């Protein structure tokens, strides 16, 4: 097994480029999956209040026996914790469910611009960062318009913007914006939730060419683009496969061909319209 590269998060922090996504696993389902993933070499776990599985993630971490400082754990606060410093109690609640005394990365899960609380929530995040219970802070599902406001009205640039991103939803403008501002882009639903994407004929051809699976070709595409990627699987063989990405590279023309599967600017969620 080749070690997972680390992506710098600014200051002296870094994030393992591949992590385990845990949506939509329940507490009971996720705990043994975490153990399998850690045994397979994962050192980055991605959960959220909204997934309702932080207790199971914490259980899996303890069951694995891994040392806390070898692991990178992300959670995301949802809309119920936006505004009025509610994020302080929100993080404490997450930490108690996880059984941890800090998370490595805390994200605002959705901007919810209709409520217009994300700027004040971000100011609370800045204090949480200073307090040490969140080692890095970032956002999820933020568009450039939302980030423009954080950059103009607050002091700290988000370390990460985790967005829906896969070969059907390639988000090139948002990736460029994030990169320009030193924000690491994370990909959620990196495999298109395992639906028709993985049956794309192009991916079948490339899987044969590289002697990998279509999922590994897609995940390697994320890696080639410098993205942090958190595929979900509860299947032990796939969990192992999804982190086994570092003994091959895609030729630039193949990266471009995969990017050309993009379904246009209307594809994917619009976080001006939806959010939790």
- Residues carrying an active site annotation: 51
- Reference 181, options 149, 158, 165, 164; nearest CA is 158
Q: Binding residue for ligand A2P (CB under 6 A) from 215, 223, 225, 250?
A: 215
Min dist. Cβ of residue 25 to ligand A2P (A): 8
Q: Could you tell me the two tokens for 126? A: 């800045």
DSSP 171: -
Nearer to ligand A2P, 47 or 213 (CB): 213
Separation CA 16–CA 246 (nearest Å): 13
Q: What are phi and psi of 255, to 5 degrees?
A: -60, -45
Q: Binding residue for ligand A2P (CB under 6 A) from 151, 238, 246, 267?
A: 238
HSE toward the beta carbon, residue 7, CA cutoff 13 A: 23
Q: Could you tell me the two tokens for 53? A: 């599985």
Nearer to ligand A2P, 21 or 111 (CB): 21
Q: Binding residue for ligand A2P (CB under 6 A) from 14, 120, 234, 259?
A: 234
Q: How far is CA 177 from the centre of its chain?
A: 17
At 7 the three-state DSSP class reads strand
Q: Site for ligand A2P (CB under 6 A): how many residues?
A: 18
140 binds ligand A2P (CB under 6 A): no
CB 231 within 8 A of CB 242: yes
37 binds ligand A2P (CB under 6 A): no
Min dist. Cβ of residue 131 to ligand A2P (A): 32
Nearer to ligand A2P, 82 or 187 (CB): 187
59 binds ligand A2P (CB under 6 A): no
Residues numbered 169 to 208 that lie near ligand A2P (CB under 6 A) are 189-194, 198
Asked if the bond preceding 189 is cis, omega within 30° of 0, the reply is no
Nearer to ligand A2P, 82 or 230 (CB): 230
Instruction: Report the interface residues with ligand A2P, using CB under 6 A.
Output: 21, 189-194, 198, 213, 215, 231-235, 238, 241-242
């Amino acid at each position: 097994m080749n070690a997972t590269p680390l992506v710098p998060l600014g200051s002296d922090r870094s994030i393992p480029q591949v992590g385990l996504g845990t949506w939509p696993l329940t507490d009971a389902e996720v705990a043994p999956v975490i153990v399998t993933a850690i045994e397979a070499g994962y050192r980055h776990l991605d959960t959220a209040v909204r997934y309702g599985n932080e207790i199971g993630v914490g259980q899996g971490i303890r069951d694995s026996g891994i040392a806390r400082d070898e692991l990178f754990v992300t959670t995301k606060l949802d809309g119920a914790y936006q505004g009025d410093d509610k994020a302080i109690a929100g993080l404490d609640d997450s930490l108690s469910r996880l059984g941890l005394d800090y998370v490595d990365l805390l994200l605002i899960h959705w901007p919810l611009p209709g409520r217009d609380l994300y700027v004040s929530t971000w100011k609370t995040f800045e204090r949480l960062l200073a307090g040490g219970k969140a080692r890095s802070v970032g956002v999820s599902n933020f568009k450039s318009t939302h980030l423009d406001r954080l950059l103009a009205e607050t002091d700290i640039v988000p370390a990460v913007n985790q967005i829906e991103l896969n070969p059907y939803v390639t988000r090139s403008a948002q990736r460029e914006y994030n990169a320009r501002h030193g924000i690491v882009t994370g990909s959620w639903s990196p495999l298109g939730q395992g639906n028709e994407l993985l049956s794309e004929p192009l991916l079948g051809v490339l899987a044969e060419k590289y002697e990998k699976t279509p999922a590994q070709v897609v995940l390697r595409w994320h890696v080639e683009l410098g993205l942090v990627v958190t595929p979900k699987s509860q299947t032990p063989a796939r969990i192992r496969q999804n982190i086994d990405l570092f003994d091959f590279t895609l030729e630039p023309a193949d990266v471009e061909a995969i990017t050309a599967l993009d379904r246009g600017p209307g594809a994917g969620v619009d976080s001006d319209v939806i959010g939790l």
